[in-house]
Structure 1
Amino acid sequence: MSEELLRLSKRMSELGLSSRREADEWIAKGWVRVDGVVVSELGTKVYPSQKITVERQAAAEQSKRVTILINKPMGYVSGQAEDGYTPAVALIKPENRWAEDKSPEQFHPTQLRSLVPAGRLDIDSVGLLVLTQDGRVAKHLIGETTDIDKEYLVRVQYTKPGTLPDADLKKLNFGLWMDGKPLKAAKVRWQNEDQLSFTLREGKKRQIRRMCEMVGLHVVGLKRVRIGKVKLGELPTGQWRYLLPEEIF
């Protein structure tokens, strides 16, 4: 079977070397070699069996890229500003940095350049939001093959008489369909009488609110408390800190 040619930037992303955007920047700078030969033309195609190496400067530049954790308050959007709402990135300024941030990283406005949210959190949801300059982190958290789980605490009201039947709690764990597809298995359990813990491995738009509606629950409040191994912890609302080098999602 003959090999299929792939765009070099796509292949670099598949290999986890960089994001596609980073790959294009590095190719343009002459930092990428294919089988030992520098390739500096964007759009170049390669075979999967070809060896791709990256110059040291690229790794150095990548290690300077920051990842920031923020405890997003209500009323902020995760990504681009929309309909007069402020994006969460506006909170990243020296005065909002958590006093207990243990990172030696110094804040500099250039860190706000190309800082993108790795996953969204609705305007009326609060809690852990990750913003990163590192394409590898973004791909790891929101790439198509990600298996990073995310945990939410969800305050609910049951809109029918009595309490939520066990059969419906089981449905929240597995068995519901959304947008014409079955949802992946989730872990949903009661924390106390009006709060559920949801652990999901996918993130469809307004997924938890829609899941709750399907079984007669109304979401009163929603807070993301963990992404993979990284927890929101004591980080105060509206404040941010750097991801530490030893922390991995």
Structure 2
Amino acid sequence: MSDSAPPPTTRLNKRLAELGLCSRREADEWIARGWVRVDGQVAGMGQQVEPTARIEVDPAARGQQAQQVTILLHKPVGYVSGQAEDGYQPAVTLVQARSHWRGDGSRQRFAPAQLRGLAPAGRLDIDSTGLLVLTQDGRVARRLIGEDSEVEKEYLVRVSWGEVASDVQSAFPPAGLARLRHGLSLDGRPLKRARVDWQNPEQLRFVLTEGRKRQIRRMCELVGLKVVGLKRVRIGRVTLGQLPLGQWRYLGPHESF
């Protein structure tokens, strides 16, 4: 009679992320600081845990997490989302006291420590504008850009079709619109179903649940459309609203994506 197989184990940092407590990177920091216990013992880096393991997190980790900020920026054209490239400035350089929107209702005050570890949760192309999320909170990043994320992103996209730059809606065949909604592939992989409708005769509204590189521009190219302007106006339940171009505000305590 053979012994039964041991239960499957998972790396502790992955398990903490799956429980929605933090990101994997944040989990590694907590483990390194001795803030995580498994079955009563201080956890070690790279530790594997069984599904039944009792995992406890020190209140100090919760306190650190409570101080983390998420920032909503109205990104202008000409700024890259992440690291500086080809002489272009990263969008995070716009996060400073003088560009903090006066209409921000969160009542939080800006402090330079809020820039530490502040990273974009998703891309917005250099030639696109609109809502960009920058966060110190791994939970927010995982919700927006994790492998299993289904958070909607809404865009307003001004287009032309060949020589047609006005009343594109009348000239563009309905079959092309149907292909934008479902049936296109990028890089050999089919795209998820999208909601695409005419907002006005020159502008389409896209609602996507994925974020491939330059996805909307490439989708439009596949059906013969050229993107003239692209603006992201919503991520999940959070909208760009009245936030002025080049300014930012905090994600409020009662807001979530």
TM-score normalised to structure 1 length: 0.97
Q: Which whole-Å CA distance do the structure 1 matches of 2:163 and 2:18 have between them?
A: 48
Matched to 1:91, the amino acid is L
Q: Contact (CA 8 Å) 1:188, 1:197: kept in 2 or not?
A: yes
- 1:37 CA displacement: 2.2
- 2:180 is aligned to 172
- 1:16 is aligned to 20
Matched to 1:99, the amino acid is R
Q: Contact (CA 8 Å) 1:3, 1:47: kept in 2 or not?
A: yes
Q: Which whole-Å CA distance do the structure 2 matches of 1:211 and 1:49 have between them?
A: 45
Matched to 2:115, the amino acid is L
| Correspondent of 1:142 among 145, 164, 188 | 145
Q: Contact (CA 8 Å) 1:157, 1:220: kept in 2 or not?
A: yes
- 1:29 is aligned to 33
Q: Contact (CA 8 Å) 1:35, 1:50: kept in 2 or not?
A: yes
- 1:48 CA displacement: 2.2
Question: For the aligned residues, what is the CA RMSD?
Answer: 1.2
Percent of pairs with identical residues: 62
| Correspondent of 1:185 among 193, 197, 210 | 193
Is residue 2:128 matched to residue 1:120?
A: no
Is residue 2:246 matched to residue 1:238?
A: yes
Matched to 1:144, the amino acid is E
Q: Contact (CA 8 Å) 1:160, 1:216: kept in 2 or not?
A: no
Q: Which whole-Å CA distance do the structure 2 matches of 1:160 and 1:175 have between them?
A: 25
- 1:54 is aligned to 57
- 1:221 is aligned to 229
- 1:160 CA displacement: 6.4
Q: Which whole-Å CA distance do the structure 1 matches of 2:236 and 2:178 have between them?
A: 23
Structure 2 unaligned blocks of 5 or more: 165-169
- 1:46 CA displacement: 1.1
| Correspondent of 1:194 among 202, 218, 224 | 202
Question: How many residues in Structure 1 have an aligned counterpart in Structure 2?
Answer: 248
| Correspondent of 1:111 among 94, 110, 114 | 114
